[in-house]
Structure 1
Amino acid sequence: MQRITRQVSMWLMLVLATFAVQAAQARELPDFTELVKQAAPGVVNISTTQEVQRRSMGPWGGSSQDVPEIFRHFFGDQIPFGPGQQGGNDGGTAERHSLGSGFIISQDGYILTNAHVVDGADKIVVRLNDRRELKAKLVGEDKKTDVAVLKVDAKDLPTLNIGNSDDLEVGEWVAAIGSPFGFDHSVTSGIVSAIDRTLPTDTYVPFIQTDVAINPGNSGGPLFNLDGKVVGINSQIFTRSGGFMGLSFAIPINVAMDIADQLKATGHVSRGWLGVVIQPVSRDLAESFGMKDSHGALIAEVAQDSPAAKAGLQAGDIILGVNGDAVDQSSKLPRLIGKVAPGETVSLKVLRNGKERTQKVTVGDWPESDQQAMQDQQGQGPQTRLGVAVSDLDSRQLERLGLDHGVRIMQVDPSGAAAAAGIQSGDIIVSVAQQSIDSAEQLASVIESVKSSSVVPVRLVRDGHSLFVALRLGGNE
């Protein structure tokens, strides 16, 4: 009997201990109820309308607008069409609707959201937490950072507290409020997974990565820290399914507010510009330039009459720092320069020919038009140690390419050193080991002089843009 009593007592103690641990864990988890009560009034739903050409037939046999409302509610402007049912243009127009989120940053009606939420919209309607619907006008948008500012005609609106995204740490709890799929004021939470994240198509935003559940309609909504302060704008997700897969990205609020201030003041954004095309410094490229570590931004091309050209920067220079801030990755350079006001002078730490130097550059304003691509021409030429066939370029061809020297790659041996370095047919080689190349014979001579198993930088022009590759040569043939 005593043995049974002892076993029951031990079992009860174990159960009580388990409950105590669970209660302690529950107390450690964040409680977002007060945050939501205070912040929800400042979060808005944004709906846009855009006039588009009407498609003649939809999968239900009529106009693409004659679809069941449940599909329109969830798919918005992504209404699915069956094979062969899209039809042609019937000459009319239709209204395309989309949904997003935003938040109020001033009592007199300024609202922050994503540029892609309102891009191309003919009509913007903001629905407040108290169900009021107000027409909004677009004050300005900046597609490079995906930030837009709206204005509604209202006073004494509830605003959100703006935090400092520079203080965020990985592992910190955060929460989002938005309108996924049109469900207003939905709350999700998670942690900061990474900071200063670079995405392939976004060079000006050091994204905050989180595991907060974000879905279509959340775009433009606020990301909060535990103090109830906005630290980011939910902007993108990484997905293969079209829905949330655990990777969400937010624009840091410090970046967004700087853009918003410029948009409110002038309607557009001015950002610093050097006028260079850059690329990462790979391990092989670092070795070819005599560097111990792969870091910095390698200048592949310098635009004519650009601030970089006027300051004497050259293709092959590696920018290691800006005003004392290290450029550990090439993606960091556009952010550092973009924050500089046009007309200001920056101090660059540059590696040239194996030696570090300081270069002063007066930053320019980002130009409106992009650089025009150059056209390629055909020719023939001799075989070199590179494993390529090359041809000389005459003065007319060089002029059309916008170059004053170089040779064209006509064929590439798939098993040769050039192919291993990523050199392609049609590329223009303009320098090897920092020596300008004027002819096929000179190219062969320079390549022949390179020691076996050496790695040298090769500067190319491909599709009108300059880049460097690291060429590793074997023994002389």
Structure 2
Amino acid sequence: MKHAAGTLAFIARFVVLGLAAAFVISLAWPNVGNRLRERFGVSHTTTEQTGAPAPVRTGGPISYADAVAKAAPSVVNIYANKMVTEQAVQMYTDPVLQRLFGGRPAGPAYKRREQSLGSGVIVQQGYVLTNNHVIANADDIQVLLYDGRVAKATVVGADVETDLAVLRIDAGNLPVIHIADQHPSRTGDVVLAIGNPLGLNQTVTMGIISAIGRQLNTSSPEDFIQTDAAINLGNSGGALVNTEGELVGINTLLIGKAANAEGISFAIPVASAKRVLDQIIDTGHVVRGWMGADYTFVPVAADSGLPAAARGAQVTDVYPGGPAAQAGIQPHDILLRIGSEDIVDPADLRRHEAAFKPGSKVEVSGLRNGAPFHTEVILAQRPPMTPTASLDG
């Protein structure tokens, strides 16, 4: 009995010693077992080999926190204050008079301070880009930076057509946003809107680019990015960034539920915003070329066999005494080329003429009553235009 027990104990010690040695070897050489099996031709089937292949994730990132962390420090809150004069009114007690006249002045007029909220983006050291309607007619503009500092801002210049304004702030060590000049925006791209909606500091919303090249004013050369990222009151002037945290647009307006719309917001493309920024910093205002004519799409007869959207732009009206009138351009002319560029459509023509400096002599060619014609137009400076879109952002 003692002999059998001693033998079992001896075997047990060697088993334990063998397992310990195998454990140490597996730590030092993790794949030694597989290599030995392959050498001696022993098959080894695992659930990883026999099971379905692991799915490969090809979608976007699980989180956009890195993009927000990169862009958010460059987005500021803007508080624009102005004094407004109001007249106290005493309502009529008679319901008929109240309905007809409402009320009558009661006492002297008084002044009160009115504050509007908005957002802005630090695009250069000392310069903040925002919407013109955020700071229009303001007597005092305060900018709240990401790190809690408050800086007084002055208006360098504004452009009504793009609804952009450039502010100057005296503060150092400002985080300048990265501009997406190497990644052009495409419909379907994921975008993040960062701003100060309804006074809720540093709010981020997400959506996609719904469309690019949107025209909100038929007489304006500027186009917009349409997005379904939530933009609310106070988001105006804030940043629309891509998933890399790069600026692709300046949030500017929304079409609200009053128009039975949902998820329709607009931003100024960063390329347009950059052109406006550079001109305002250099000269204090934006200058655009102007031919002095209005355009529409080229009409195509249903039985002509041509595509429904023909290239070019048809002249609908010529301003008396304007550059187009002086060059002999007439209503119903179809313009096909300006300078060295072909004209795609009316919006494309407006962008091309706006890009020329006033005083530039430009060759324009097209068709008049089916016959080709050429003329030279000396462009003038585009007169101030008032936007027709409702700015609710």
TM-score (norm 1): 0.62
1:52 paired residue among 84, 88, 91 = 84
2:324 paired residue among 308, 312, 315 = 308
Tell me how far 1:88 sits from its aligned partner. 4.7
Tell me how far 1:262 sits from its aligned partner. 0.9
Q: Find the aligned partners of 1:127 and 1:270 in 2 and give their Cα distance.
A: 31
State whether structure 2 residue 218 is matched by structure 1 residue 187: no
Contact 2:190 2:208 in 1 (8 A): yes
Letter in structure 1 aligned against 2:355: K
1:172 paired residue among 189, 200, 210 = 189
Q: Find the aligned partners of 1:165 and 1:181 in 2 and give their Cα distance.
A: 33
- Map residues 430-469 of structure 1 onto 2, 5 A cutoff: none
The one-character-per-residue Cα deviations of 1:87-122 (angstroms, maximum 9, x if unpaired) are 758411111111010011122x11001111111111
State whether structure 2 residue 352 is matched by structure 1 residue 320: no
The one-character-per-residue Cα deviations of 1:304-342 (angstroms, maximum 9, x if unpaired) are 332222322122212223334443332332222111111
Letter in structure 2 aligned against 1:349: S
State whether structure 2 residue 160 is matched by structure 1 residue 160: no
Alignment match, 2:65: 33
Cα separation, partners in 2 of 1:364 and 1:208, compared to 1, 3 Å: same
Instruction: Indicate the structure (1 or 2) with the bigger Cα radius of gyration.
Output: 2
2:348 paired residue among 332, 340, 343 = 332
SS in 2 for 1:105: strand
Q: Find the aligned partners of 2:104 and 2:303 in 1 and give their Cα distance.
A: 57
Q: Find the aligned partners of 1:202 and 1:183 in 2 and give their Cα distance.
A: 35
Q: Find the aligned partners of 2:166 and 2:180 in 1 and give their Cα distance.
A: 18
SS in 1 for 2:223: strand
Tell me how far 1:172 sits from its aligned partner. 1.1
Tell me how far 1:242 sits from its aligned partner. 7.8
Cα separation, partners in 2 of 1:116 and 1:291, compared to 1, 3 Å: same
Tell me how far 1:134 sits from its aligned partner. 1.1
1:273 paired residue among 290, 301, 318 = 290
Q: Find the aligned partners of 1:245 and 1:339 in 2 and give their Cα distance.
A: 34
Contact 1:297 1:329 in 2 (8 A): yes
Letter in structure 1 aligned against 2:118: G
- Map residues 131-150 of structure 1 onto 2, 5 A cutoff: 131-150=148-167
Cα separation, partners in 2 of 1:53 and 1:98, compared to 1, 3 Å: same
Alignment match, 1:105: 123
- Aligned CA RMSD, in angstroms, stands at 3.3
Tell me how far 1:295 sits from its aligned partner. 4.4
Alignment match, 1:93: 111
Unaligned residue ranges in structure 1 (runs of 5+): 1-15, 60-82, 371-477
Cα separation, partners in 2 of 1:140 and 1:276, compared to 1, 3 Å: same
Find runs of 4+ consecutive structure 1 residues off by over 4 angstroms.
Answer: 83-90, 290-295
Cα separation, partners in 2 of 1:364 and 1:294, compared to 1, 3 Å: same
Q: Find the aligned partners of 1:343 and 1:235 in 2 and give their Cα distance.
A: 32
Tell me how far 1:166 sits from its aligned partner. 7.5
Contact 1:275 1:302 in 2 (8 A): yes
Cα separation, partners in 2 of 1:237 and 1:293, compared to 1, 3 Å: closer
TM-score (norm 2): 0.74
Identity over aligned pairs, percent: 39
Cα separation, partners in 2 of 1:103 and 1:326, compared to 1, 3 Å: same
SS in 2 for 1:241: helix
Contact 1:55 1:86 in 2 (8 A): no
Alignment match, 2:29: none
Tell me how far 1:233 sits from its aligned partner. 0.5
State whether structure 2 residue 380 is matched by structure 1 residue 364: yes
Question: How many residues are treated as equivalent by the alignment?
Answer: 326
Contact 1:237 1:249 in 2 (8 A): yes
SS in 2 for 1:159: coil
Contact 2:160 2:385 in 1 (8 A): no
Q: Find the aligned partners of 2:178 and 2:103 in 1 and give their Cα distance.
A: 47
Contact 1:165 1:231 in 2 (8 A): no
SS in 1 for 2:262: coil
Cα separation, partners in 2 of 1:293 and 1:248, compared to 1, 3 Å: closer
Letter in structure 2 aligned against 1:50: K
Letter in structure 1 aligned against 2:371: K
The one-character-per-residue Cα deviations of 1:411-464 (angstroms, maximum 9, x if unpaired) are xxxxxxxxxxxxxxxxxxxxxxxxxxxxxxxxxxxxxxxxxxxxxxxxxxxxxx
Unaligned residue ranges in structure 2 (runs of 5+): 1-50, 92-99, 387-393
Letter in structure 2 aligned against 1:312: G
Q: Find the aligned partners of 1:363 and 1:223 in 2 and give their Cα distance.
A: 34
SS in 2 for 1:129: coil
Letter in structure 2 aligned against 1:260: L
SS in 2 for 1:134: strand
Contact 1:176 1:222 in 2 (8 A): yes
Cα separation, partners in 2 of 1:202 and 1:98, compared to 1, 3 Å: farther
Q: Find the aligned partners of 2:372 and 2:244 in 1 and give their Cα distance.
A: 45
Q: Find the aligned partners of 1:87 and 1:129 in 2 and give their Cα distance.
A: 47
- Map residues 200-239 of structure 1 onto 2, 5 A cutoff: 200=217, 203-239=220-256
Alignment match, 1:197: 214
Letter in structure 1 aligned against 2:312: G
Contact 2:80 2:140 in 1 (8 A): yes
Contact 2:364 2:375 in 1 (8 A): yes
Cα separation, partners in 2 of 1:293 and 1:35, compared to 1, 3 Å: closer
State whether structure 2 residue 272 is matched by structure 1 residue 261: no
Cα separation, partners in 2 of 1:88 and 1:219, compared to 1, 3 Å: farther
Letter in structure 2 aligned against 1:129: Y
State whether structure 2 residue 141 is matched by structure 1 residue 124: yes
